[in-house]
Amino acid sequence: MFARTQRLLLRPVWPEDADALFAGINDAGIVYNLARAPWPYTLDDARSFAARAQDPHFPHFLLTRPGDAGQTLIGSCGLGETEGEPELGYWIARDHWGQGYATEAARAVIANAWMIGHKRLVASHYIDNPASGGVLRRLGFTPTGVIRPRFSAGRGYAAMAKEYTLESDVADIERPLAA
């Protein structure tokens, strides 16, 4: 599955992406804000992630710039499954922080989620990562009022995370794709 936004090409992860994936995510400031990625993040971790089969109900994408043959890795965005619900997740390589890429990519992933048939998405962010909360609010996610410990493989412990939901019947999927 592929998606295109104004500035991004969202495409599957391929085994040959392992080196670029490793270079983009191998940063404690990124991995500590993710639930499933370990720290230290190794090239073998990148190879394993790049070799995973795509689940058509929970697609995951690498974010690249169209026209540069995928040479510039911006980050990753996709759906996972948490407690039986589809969960939006994303990370952006440090060189690309603050440019609206997470919001732009997530809008495309959300539109795909509705087309796949998901009716509700969940998301969360660690409370020491308020920038991610800003992304979720810009996307229309609503805080549930729940803040609870969530394990982070990168941190090696459960840190407090704020939870959000987005319902397809209230999502504004007609918004422009630009951040």
Residue 66, burial from CB neighbour count under 10 angstroms (0-12, 13-18, 19+): middle
Instruction: Quickly state the pLDDT bin for 26 (edges 50, 70, 90).
Output: very high
What is the CB neighbour count within 10 angstroms for residue 71? 9
| Residue 67 confidence (pLDDT) | 81
CA-based nearest residue to 43, from 71, 16, 19, 63: 19
Q: In order of start, what are the domains of the chain with their CATH numbers?
A: 3-119 (3.40.630.30)
**What are the b/e assignments for 129-168, b being 16+ CB within 10 Å?**
beebbebbeebbbeeeeeeeebebbbbeeebebbbbbbee
| Residue 169 confidence (pLDDT) | 74
At 30-45, the pLDDT tens digits run 999 999 999 999 999 9
Q: What token pair was written down for 109?
A: 């992933």
Query: Can you tell me the mean pLDDT for 99-106?
Result: 98
Q: How far apart are CA 95 and CA 32, in angstroms?
A: 17
The pTM (predicted TM-score) of the whole model is: 0.91
Query: Can you tell me the mean pLDDT for 158-178?
Result: 74
At 121-162, the pLDDT tens digits run 999 999 999 999 999 999 999 999 999 999 999 999 999 999
| Residue 71 confidence (pLDDT) | 72
